Amino acid sequence: APGQPLLELAPELVGREAELIDLAAGRLDRLEIPMFSRVGAAGQPRYCRMLLKPRAGGAGIFLFIEDITAIGEIQQRLMQSRNELRLLADALDRKNRDLVAANLELRKLADVRTTFVSMAAHELRTPLAVMRGYADMLLDETLGDLNSAQRESLLTLRRGSDRLLEVVNNLLDLTRLEAGRMELVMQPQDMGALVRAAAREFRPLFETACQRFQVAVAPDLPAVLADETRVFQILSNLLSNASKYTPAGGLIVLRAGPAPSPAELLVSVRDTGVGIPADELDRLGSLFFRARTANQVDARGVGLGLYITNSLVQLHGGRLWFESHEGLGSTFYVTFLLADAP
């Protein structure tokens, strides 16, 4: 509006009078206020940009006001989003720090548990082995003749200490596996000989349990790369489970032969036992898991053996799997890598 004072028209220029004088005198080329807000006609906020330029010959000032509300609103929103993002990033940072601290605490607790289990198991093992040794000595009658009641009592004592020793040894293996301290001595092994040795060791157990036992070792098996003691442990575990979960009169078959892959050798243990329910097959082999069917036979256990067996097989570079039908029986398969893979 002509004649209206500039500062009344554009109060945003208050405080910049010196620049306005320079502008009017042609000493300043332009003056810009990139963004300011005004209240619009309907009371809503408007964002504007102001540009002032000198008129040629010192004849006043041009004043341009541009409505940039759309851009202004976007910029406002952008700034708000940026602030929100910064808040979220801070919160995430705090959560991350909490997680790292919680993880450290968990690891410490796990270490304490592993150390405790390992120490307790070591402490239990020596007196248990001594007890078992004395039971053996008495049963051999080196300390005098036994009557049948004494023999029965000693046999019960020996079975009990055997079971305890097995649990204690499994706990020790578990702590070794968890700490990544299970060390294998890998050497070329004659799997046929190892399978036959395990069969010899287990035949009396099957006879006592009134189970039939067959062994089938394919001729001329190539050597595998394995830790002899641990292979024996793997075979023992599968054979002992086959016996435990098969009622009297059942059949157990131990086989060693070629595997589907030419770089491996396959060992299997089949039984005609209680089997595993179909809905529990995928949980078998997890720590401390026992199938429902385990209660159908008088087989005590804690669900450690299969987990350790599977871990040992994997440490050897092999695989463990099984097929089972409830009430019909199970077959456990294990592969070992050949010492000289073709």
Stretch that binds ligand ADP, among 122-130, 195-203, 205-213, 239-247 (CB under 6 A): 239-247
Q: Of 35 and 172, which CB lies nearer to ligand ADP in the complex structure?
A: 172
Q: Does 250 bind ligand ADP (CB under 6 A)?
A: no
Q: Of 265 and 274, which CB lies nearer to ligand ADP in the complex structure?
A: 274
Q: Does 273 bind ligand ADP (CB under 6 A)?
A: yes
Question: Residue 312 CB, nearest distance to ligand ADP (Å)?
Answer: 12
Find the binding residues for ligand ADP in span 165-204 (CB under 6 A). none
Q: In terms of Cα–Cα distance, which of 98, 77, 339 is closest to 221? A: 339
Question: Residue 200 CB, nearest distance to ligand ADP (Å)?
Answer: 20
Decide: 300 and 163 in contact? Cβ < 8 Å: yes
Q: Does 268 bind ligand ADP (CB under 6 A)?
A: no
Q: Does 252 bind ligand ADP (CB under 6 A)?
A: no
Binding mask 296-335 for ligand ADP (x = CB under 6 A): -----xxxxxxx----------------------x-----
Q: Does 276 bind ligand ADP (CB under 6 A)?
A: yes
Q: Of 158 and 244, which CB lies nearer to ligand ADP in the complex structure?
A: 244
Q: Does 241 bind ligand ADP (CB under 6 A)?
A: yes
Q: Does 294 bind ligand ADP (CB under 6 A)?
A: yes
Measured from each CB, the residue nearest to ligand ADP is: 301
Other Cβ atoms closer than 10 A to 64: 10
Decide: 317 and 341 in contact? Cβ < 8 Å: no
Q: Of 47 and 213, which CB lies nearer to ligand ADP in the complex structure?
A: 213
Please tell me the count of residues contacting ligand ADP according to CB under 6 A.
22
Question: Residue 124 CB, nearest distance to ligand ADP (Å)?
Answer: 17
| Interface contacts to ligand ADP, rule CB under 6 A | 241-242, 244-245, 271, 273-276, 284, 290-291, 293-294, 301-307, 330
